[in-house]
Amino acid sequence: MAKKTIDQIEVSGNTVLMRVDFNVPLDENQAITDDRRIRMALPSIQSVINRGGRLILMSHLGRPAGEGFEQKFSLAPAASRLGELLGSKVVMASDTVGEDAEAKAKSLADGEVLVLENLRFNAGEKKGCSEFAGKLAAMADAYCNDAFGTCHRSDASMVAVPEAMASKPRVVGHLVAKEIQYLTDAIGNPARPFVAILGGAKVSDKINVINNLLGICDAVLIGGAMAYTFSLAKDGQVGDSLVEKDKVDLAKELISKGGDKLHLPVDTHCGDDFGNIAGCNKQVVAAGEIPDGWEGMDVGPETAAKYAAVIKDAKTVVWNGPMGVFEKPPMDAGTKAVAQAVADSDAISIIGGGDSAAAVDQLGFADQVSHVSTGGGASLAMLEGQRFAAVDLLDDSDA
């Protein structure tokens, strides 16, 4: 069932506690190198402050030890950037649930924004601690989840806080609502043919996704380094390619289950020095015929053409994981060909975060797909068919 959104509740004169994903990349000088996650939260933020609400934002950044403040993981740069984007002052707390945060939360005026310090400076966040969550919950009159990237986690800010606010409005933000709509519709009621493209390094990372999608999709296209584990399962030669030998039996089961739905590469672009892709020797060989001393680094041109032909006829496409070492030409050719095919298709196209999102953005196709997910792990979990407690416990829409 659809969840109630931030636009559907009264916020004027009330304080909203909003979980956002400000886990932005920082350089050595703590300057933000990509502010996309902050910009994508703006519609939900503006929905509150433009209607006279008081807004408290909470997020994590990086992986601090959970033992107190660490300068390199401070959310201060994110708060500063948010202020620039909003064109107004954003207040920054020096702690999360301490005296400074509580005092600044109480003194907020209508239309003002407070950013709490990094949630993970407190060990209670990762532990899902109810006491920590209770202190956060006490600051506000309503809760909003707009952090899709952590929706599959049981962190305190995602589950224990809305549990502690059961008597108050608990809603989704614009970003989470959009993510859920795209991914739920794709899995539950896809326009067909429904094609999934799965790449990346390890079969083990995608076992549940492949299993689930083989029961839903019309075609599942496999690329990336995990293709070599499938190749080994078919008694192929993989040279020095990255493989998971302990997953060969599993790959055999997936091949058997997949039948004609499971599409594996028919050729491989390989090189003899992964550390020097630009300068090493390269060749294209048939799948399963990679010589010793050589390493598969991308799907070959015949595979790229075959995959593009399948994608051309698709009505729904979900893509998670690149076809090869997309960061380093010429081993970006397979990923580029697939991205071009997705961009050129008439399909509803959903790019599942992480490296896939980076590849589509880097190759210039981000504006030509339907949706680029902000959460790699969360989108994978949805493709596996998981339910999210962080979303399930929010208020259902009356509409």
Q: Which residue in the list 37, 104, 135, 153 is annotated as catalytic?
A: 37
Q: Exposure string (b/e) for 84-109, b if CB count within 10 Å is 16 or more?
A: eeeeeebbbbebbbeeebeebbeebe
- The residues that bridge with 238 in the sheet, in sequence order, are 290
Q: Which residue in the list 178, 202, 261, 306 is annotated as catalytic?
A: 202
- Is 202 a catalytic site residue? yes
Nearest C-alpha neighbor of 116 from the set 141, 134, 99: 99
What is the enclosing helix (H) or strand (E) of 58? Answer: strand 54-58
Q: Do residues 230 and 274 make contact, with C-beta atoms less than 8 angstroms apart? A: no
Nearest C-alpha neighbor of 224 from the set 265, 262, 196, 193: 265
Instruction: Write down the residue that tokens 């962190």 correspond to.
Output: 155
Q: Do residues 335 and 324 make contact, with C-beta atoms less than 8 angstroms apart? A: yes
Coil, strand or helix: which one is 110?
coil
- Is 354 a catalytic site residue? yes
Instruction: Report helix, strand and coil shares of the chain as percent, to nearest 5.
Output: 40, 20, 40
Residue type, 366: A
Q: Which residue in the list 124, 354, 375, 376 is annotated as catalytic?
A: 354
Q: Which residue in the list 52, 111, 377, 385 is annotated as catalytic?
A: 377
Q: Which two tokens stand for residue 398?
A: 């009356």
Distance from C-alpha of 288 to C-alpha of 367, rounded to nearest angstrom = 36
Coil, strand or helix: which one is 41?
helix
Distance from C-alpha of 237 to C-alpha of 241, rounded to nearest angstrom = 9
Distance from C-alpha of 113 to C-alpha of 88, rounded to nearest angstrom = 9
* Ordered alpha helix ranges (H), the chain: 36-49, 76-86, 99-106, 123-127, 130-137, 160-164, 174-188, 203-214, 226-233, 248-258, 301-312, 333-344, 354-362, 376-383, 389-392
Nearest C-alpha neighbor of 204 from the set 238, 151, 242, 158: 242
Residue 318 phi/psi, 5° resolution? -120, 130
Looking at residue 357, what DSSP letter applies? H
Q: Where in the sequence numbering do the catalytic residues fall? A: 37, 202, 354, 377
